């Protein structure tokens, strides 16, 4: 009888979909002049169709020694990831891209969800016809990558 470790991240995972959320805010002198929220508006279904504009992972294999192998849709890139887990936080650093970051994650016997968030702020000079002004732009972007566990014969996962 094969034993299934339900709450262990070790093993292979196939990407099923990605849900993208964002909040974009423009302000002038501390007052919001425009905002746009796209909560859950973009779901990329990776089972039936891989969007050419999706550059995220399509497959991940977490090894027990803190190393992961990730296949990306972008130009068929495969990368090695160093990872560590602290509670429900997965910390990662990619070898090819030298990117560091963290994801909160949830896991059960068959599904893995990784949620990452990035916040950016910058200033722009714009001219609406009455002279240039400086506006503040704030972007909060998050995505949830959902994976399905791949059960392999003799893998013990």
Write out pLDDT tens, residues 109-125: 688 888 888 888 999 99
Phi, psi values for residue 72, rounded to 5°: -110, 150
Per residue in 63-73, pLDDT (tens digit) is 888 898 988 76
Nearest to 63 by CA among 12, 115, 97, 105: 12
The one-character DSSP state at 77 is: -
Sign of the four-CA dihedral 2, 147, 86, 95: positive
**Burial (CB count <10 Å: 0-12, 13-18, 19+), residue 151:** middle
Segment 133-143 mean pLDDT: 89
Q: How confident is the model at residue 54 (pLDDT cuts 50, 70, 90)?
A: low
Give just the sign of the alpha carbon dihedral 117, 144, 114, 60: negative
Opening angle at CA 46, ends 44 and 48, nearest 5: 110
pLDDT in tens, 58-111: 888 998 888 989 887 666 788 888 888 887 788 876 655 555 566 777 777 688
Compute the residue count for the chain. Answer: 157
Residue 13: its H or E element: strand 11-28
pLDDT digits (tens, 9 = 90+) for 20-35: 788 889 998 889 988 8
């Amino acid at each position: 009888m094969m034993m299934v470790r339900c709450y262990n991240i070790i093993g292979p995972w196939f990407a099923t979909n990605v849900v993208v959320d964002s909040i974009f805010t423009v302000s002038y002198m501390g007052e919001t002049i425009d905002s746009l929220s796209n909560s859950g508006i973009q779901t990329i279904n990776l089972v039936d169709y891989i969007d050419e504009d999706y550059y995220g992972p399509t497959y991940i294999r977490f090894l027990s020694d803190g190393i992961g192998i990730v296949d990306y849709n972008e130009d068929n890139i495969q990368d090695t990831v160093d990872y560590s887990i602290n509670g429900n936080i997965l910390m990662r650093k990619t070898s090819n891209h030298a990117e560091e970051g963290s994801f909160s994650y949830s896991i059960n016997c068959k599904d893995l969800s990784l949620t990452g968030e990035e916040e950016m702020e910058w200033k722009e000079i714009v001219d609406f016809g009455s002279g240039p002004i400086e506006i503040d732009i704030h972007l909060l972007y998050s995505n949830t990558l959902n994976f399905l566990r791949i059960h392999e014969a003799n893998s013990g996962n």
